[in-house]
Structure 1
Amino acid sequence: MTQTKPSYKKCRFGECALSLGFLDREKLDYVASRQKISKQRIGHICVEEQLLDSEQVARVIAMQYDYPYIQLEAPDDPELFTLIPVGLMKKYHFIPWRREDDRLVIAMSRPRNLIRVVDELEMMLDSEIGVVIASEERIHALTDKIGKSVSALDSLSDDIRLPVIREAADSGDILSLENVASEESLTVKLVNSVILDAINKGASDIHIEASDAGVIIRYRIDGMLYQATDPLDSHHQSAIISRIKVMSELDISEKRVPQDGRFKINVSGRFIDFRISVLPTIFGEDAVIRILDRESLKTGADGFRLEGMGLPEAELRRMRRMIRAPYGMFLMTGPTGSGKTTTLYRALSEVNRKDVKIITIEDPVEYRLKGIVQIQVNEKKGLTFARGLRSVLRHDPDKILVGEIRDAETAQIAIQSALTGHLVFTTVHANRSFEVINRFAHMGIDIYDLVSALNCVVAQRLIRTLCSCRQPTEIPDEELTESGLVRQRDQVFYRAVGCEQCNGTGFRGRKAVLEMVALDDDMRALMVQRAPASALKKQAGASGTVFLRQAALAEVVSGVTTLDEANRITFAEAVA
């Protein structure tokens, strides 16, 4: 039982140590003589002289003051640390340990100031205080560790109120608002702070990772991962993941299998969607939060206009010609996070007119477009891409967007739609434009039907653009040659530096680099014959295609980005 009122010494330290058998009379006399000279605490001298360890000293003090001793591992609830200033804990050498009914139990290593500490805490917390004794070494270690977590939290945004918007299972109607910051909870405050900090820094994803070093929080900004703050104490990990599961309406008791969910919040009048993926690892559960800011582009200077992509004039004309075709398939390819959906939205905005019916089926609906019918995939309810696309065709559309072709059924319906008078915009996962043929072939799609439907294949990457803090740099001729560049007279290359405006990264924002392959009769013939990629590339080049590598190097030459960045997103091809 923990005591609730301070008590006075029952015996001297030395007598208690003798009673417990930790010291003999000879060692005690030696320590006493040292204490008279140094004026240090006897327990400190015993540890310094390696006569006792810190746990034995704690047991002696517990007997001396008649308090229970505990071998301290960690507080039952890390959020108790938010109740008391860290400075006060360090001053009086204690930590909050657990709650017992209406009492807060503290673990203390130096009870000499016990009366003052208990009085101050009872007044501060309006709660009865219980006391146990623990080793000073463990108390200091935990105070430092939790203190760093609190400092890391304080380095993020404070006093954040993020209302979570619950959505009905069967529709998109809003049911209720929950002010998640109304509780004085470290976990709620931490999760809210991380979310808002990530939004303010323009992150696309938040990674919350369990490791042997603690909980690591990282943001993906402009396609790259950056650590947001110092690692948090590992004891926060379970509470953080549980909070995210509650927000996403996932099963907080299930920790052995992956889970996916979503939630929506209102930040300064702006509704932002989040997709959640929770994955069990050897150190605990990891979470990745994808930020879907539907209104970010609409409120930007360029909105969803094609001009906002920053394409060269010739490429802009080619794209407009492709997306204004009366029927066929406009197919985009690229890895996850390469901006395919955003480019398709720009294309739809370009062709959106009052006399045209446009329907999209997406997972998820990332941005809402006026004048366009948008459908959200819901596989749990049986609304897949394939089933939704069949229904879309009965709604007399002129143009259709299929967010992603994932299976043979969806591919077949999309191709038939393109062959029967509809203009279909869609995406497929492939690294290069010519790899889409193999991708569809693996699905069992007839290649003749595919190439008959295809108007063009557009491969896309996002390249980071330099901040204004950029500085000129020299690049060795050998590196230029290996990268496919030839030095021109007075050519200036730049390197990333880093400043406050770019959060020290040297880059601000990204822009698309495209490889647009238009399908003419010659290209279709080669594809049907399953010609090698080299032959397809040669034909595309002869037809005016600017390849991804060329587009990336053009941004380097113009000073928009660095050579390292171009080499990161495209394969280097040496100059012959």
Structure 2
Amino acid sequence: MNDVQSILTQSFSINSADIEKSQSFQKKYGGRLEHILVNMGALSEDALPQFYAEFLQLAQADDDIVAGASFDAMQDNSLYQALLPLNWFLLQHDDQQCTILAKDPLSAEGNQLISQLQQRLHLFVLTEPQLQQLKQKSVRQSDNLSELGDELSDLEEDRLRELADEAPTVNLLNSLIARALKSGASDMHLEPSAGRYRVRFRIDGVLQEADFLAPRMRLPIASRIKILSGMDIAEKRRPQDGKIAMKIANEELDIRVSALPLHEGESIVMRFLRQDSINYSMEVLGLSADIEQYILQDLKKTAGVILLTGPTGSGKTTSLYTFLNAINQPEVKIITLEDPVEYQLEGVNQVQVQPSIGFDFSAGLRSIVRQDPDVIMVGEIRDNETAQIAMQSALTGHLVFSTVHTNDAPSAYTRLLDLGAQEYLLNAAIVSIIAQRLARKLCPHCKQPAENAAELIQNYQLEQLASRYQLTPQLYQPKGCDHCAHTGYKGRMAVVEYLRCDDDIKALPKDENFPQKARELGRAQGNRTLLQDGLLKAIQGLTTVEEVIRVAG
């Protein structure tokens, strides 16, 4: 290797001040020097292939090599399949030598994979256009297996089982899962799309394209997942669900799997449940200080109903677990009724409903109240009977937590009335309603002042909101760095609308005009809407106005 500092100054004309600044950042936060310089704007991303070639003393890939590359002979090579997700392409692998084309030859995963090779190694550096050309070539490789129909013969099913257990399939799936976990993904989506097999990770609530797999790997990978999760690999016409317990990179992992038939194949979604990575503390939720105090006051009550509202994926279950964890004491008996039980809470009796045998939320709730609990958590109020039992349980000395699907807090009353709950029961039982969304937090390592701050402050009247809380608006925008996978965002926090069901709310008629009147009353009392709570976090520099509008606008 050559000296990196001399290369940067002599070949790329980067001044010593920028290099010192990047080294200081690297020492404090970690990351690769060339990536830091790219993020700083001191080094062009297009210059990285030349940098790698000089630094590692490698040759850059010739266009003729890329144009003539063929991967037909590599399709069943386990090393080829393991390197492919890293954008490393195995061109030749025999007893004499190994030829690899790589976009990032400093990749730790790639170097680990080739560290045990005994053959003479030829490593070439790729440019971005060359990389895209090779990816298209690898995607076009397919065989007759990818064209199998909906109904498989016994011979075809046996062949699929063999392929699912072969090293290329096992290594490729393990590599994808490891990449998803390393990036902090909550879900991995595998979808056939326009003749390709697309892989996407959901990171901080947003899907990000991760890779495209060769079409010939679609059925082996899908079959591997189905076998691990206990599904029927021969069934491709009906939706299926399953569960995988496995160990990846020394981490125990539960994976919920869903397979959905599409017009051109099956979409498979894998949800990662990482017990060790969940921290059910109020600080992690990121609630505004005043709302956190209101909720802590509610948690001290011994009876009543606390409701969370919001769409799927808005963090309601995590918030409920956090509230339960805050009151989980040896002298308090807590029973939950969930569909399904995703995370284990120590000291809490968790029950999973089984609708197929008639054990639904209402039946489970009737059984729970006979267990003498102090606190009850019902995963969701879906019908009249569950609503009635939950409210009556609150009136007989239980603290009840549950969720309903509405867009804001006042609409929860309307939803419960539509389910058949009586108005007097709602007035007597409900303590508070919390509407919630999840907004991505700006990466603290790379966020920078928003270029359009003045325009945003004016358009969203942020001066008035800031003065109300004695703040000075500080708006930032995302940039992207190694710490946040170059998205500009890292982690999420709750954006909340809190509605305390006090005497003023109880006095309002629960008719079709109630949500509007409740909002007017909230404004008069100085309460914040979902949008206002999000904008408050934006002017504190925690997120962006654009992100708040996306989730709560």
Q: Is the 8 A contact 1:451 1:528 kept in 2?
A: no
Q: Is the 8 A contact 1:460 1:548 kept in 2?
A: yes
Distance in 1 (CA, whole Å) between partners of 2:260 and 2:74 is 23
Distance in 2 (CA, whole Å) between partners of 1:537 and 1:146 is 53
Go from structure 1 to structure 2 and tell me whether the alpha carbon gap of 1:317 and 1:277 turns closer, same or farther (over 3 Å shift). Answer: same
Shift of 1:209: 0.9
| Match of residue 256, structure 2, among 254, 260, 275 | 275
Q: Is the 8 A contact 1:499 1:505 kept in 2?
A: yes
Go from structure 1 to structure 2 and tell me whether the alpha carbon gap of 1:425 and 1:142 turns closer, same or farther (over 3 Å shift). Answer: closer
| Match of residue 368, structure 1, among 332, 337, 344 | 344
| Greater relative CO, 1 or 2 (CA 8 Å, sep 6+) | 2
- Residue matched to 2:242: 261
Shift of 1:375: 1.3
| Match of residue 364, structure 2, among 370, 383, 388 | 388
Instruction: Please list the CA deviations of residues 254-294 of structure 1 after superposition, one character each: whole Å capped at 9, or x if unmatched.
Output: 11121122222234554322222111111210011111222
Q: Is the 8 A contact 1:338 1:461 kept in 2?
A: yes
Task: Provide the TM-score with structure 1 as the length reference.
Answer: 0.66
Segment drifting more, 348-357 vs 331-340: 348-357
Instruction: Please list the CA deviations of residues 465-490 of structure 1 after superposition, one character each: whole Å capped at 9, or x if unmatched.
Output: 11120111222645433334238897
Go from structure 1 to structure 2 and tell me whether the alpha carbon gap of 1:328 and 1:141 turns closer, same or farther (over 3 Å shift). Answer: closer
Identity of aligned residues (%): 40
Residue 250 (1) aligns with residue 231 (2): yes
- Residue matched to 1:88: 92
Instruction: Please list the CA deviations of residues 441-461 of structure 1 after superposition, one character each: whole Å capped at 9, or x if unmatched.
Output: 332322332232211100011
Residues 27-46 of structure 1 correspond to what in structure 2 (within 5 A)?
Answer: none
Task: Provide the TM-score with structure 2 as the length reference.
Answer: 0.69
Q: Is the 8 A contact 2:164 2:170 kept in 1?
A: no
Q: Is the 8 A contact 1:307 1:316 kept in 2?
A: no
| Match of residue 323, structure 2, among 344, 347, 368 | 347
Instruction: Please list the CA deviations of residues 512-557 of structure 1 after superposition, one character each: whole Å capped at 9, or x if unmatched.
Output: 1211100012202215344342211122234453221111011111
Residues 214-225 of structure 1 correspond to what in structure 2 (within 5 A)?
Answer: 214-225=196-207
Instruction: Please list the CA deviations of residues 102-141 of structure 1 after superposition, one character each: whole Å capped at 9, or x if unmatched.
Output: xxxxxxxxxxxxxxxxxxxxxx9xxxxxxxxxxxxxxx99
Shift of 1:222: 0.5
Go from structure 1 to structure 2 and tell me whether the alpha carbon gap of 1:143 and 1:506 turns closer, same or farther (over 3 Å shift). Answer: closer
Q: Is the 8 A contact 1:181 1:189 kept in 2?
A: no
Shift of 1:313: 2.9
| Match of residue 461, structure 1, among 420, 428, 437 | 437
Q: Is the 8 A contact 2:139 2:196 kept in 1?
A: no
Matched position secondary structure for 1:338: coil
- Residue matched to 2:510: 528
Q: How many positions carry a matched residue from both structures?
A: 415
Tell me, which stretches of 5 or more residues in structure 2 are unaligned?
A: 1-70, 81-88, 95-118, 120-132, 143-161
Give 2:76's aligned amino acid. L
Segment drifting more, 420-429 vs 448-457: 448-457
Residue 470 (1) aligns with residue 447 (2): yes
Q: Is the 8 A contact 1:214 1:232 kept in 2?
A: yes
Distance in 1 (CA, whole Å) between partners of 2:458 and 2:204 is 28
Matched position secondary structure for 2:484: coil
Shift of 1:435: 1.6
Shift of 1:308: 3.1
- Residue matched to 1:191: 173
Distance in 2 (CA, whole Å) between partners of 1:185 and 1:482 is 57
Matched position secondary structure for 2:549: helix
Q: Is the 8 A contact 1:359 1:373 kept in 2?
A: yes
Q: Is the 8 A contact 1:472 1:495 kept in 2?
A: yes
| Match of residue 430, structure 1, among 406, 413, 422 | 406
Q: Is the 8 A contact 1:518 1:540 kept in 2?
A: no
Q: RMSD of the TM alignment (CA)? A: 3.2
Go from structure 1 to structure 2 and tell me whether the alpha carbon gap of 1:479 and 1:473 turns closer, same or farther (over 3 Å shift). Answer: closer
Distance in 1 (CA, whole Å) between partners of 2:381 and 2:166 is 46
Instruction: Please list the CA deviations of residues 14-56 of structure 1 after superposition, one character each: whole Å capped at 9, or x if unmatched.
Output: xxxxxxxxxxxxxxxxxxxxxxxxxxxxxxxxxxxxxxxxxxx
Shift of 1:148: 8.7
Distance in 2 (CA, whole Å) between partners of 1:564 and 1:273 is 34
Matched position secondary structure for 2:76: helix
Segment drifting more, 484-493 vs 329-338: 484-493
Residues 537-576 of structure 1 correspond to what in structure 2 (within 5 A)?
Answer: 537-571=519-553
